[in-house]
Amino acid sequence: MAEEFSKGDHVSWKSHGGTAEGTVKREITEDTEAAGRTVRASPDDPQYEVESEKSGGTAVHKPSALEKD
């Protein structure tokens, strides 16, 4: 099972040739609009909205793409 994250967790992920760091803003467990796109998620297949420390922008990632720092 994939790792679970909580709001406020500090995480990193691969981004455009490097590694980005940021904070989990929320867990998404249903289809919704986030980070400018439609996110397909469910309680069994959640995604996480994260805020980049560097840019302040938000992105949505599957748990497998995130690593807790």
- Give pLDDT tens digits for 17-64: 899 999 999 999 999 999 999 999 999 999 999 999 999 999 999 999
Can you give the pTM of this predicted structure? 0.91
pLDDT at 5: 96
Three-state secondary structure call for residue 29 = coil
H-state helical runs in 1-69: none
pLDDT at 60: 96
Side by side, which strands form the sheet with 10-15? 58-61, 47-52, 18-28, 10-15, 67-68
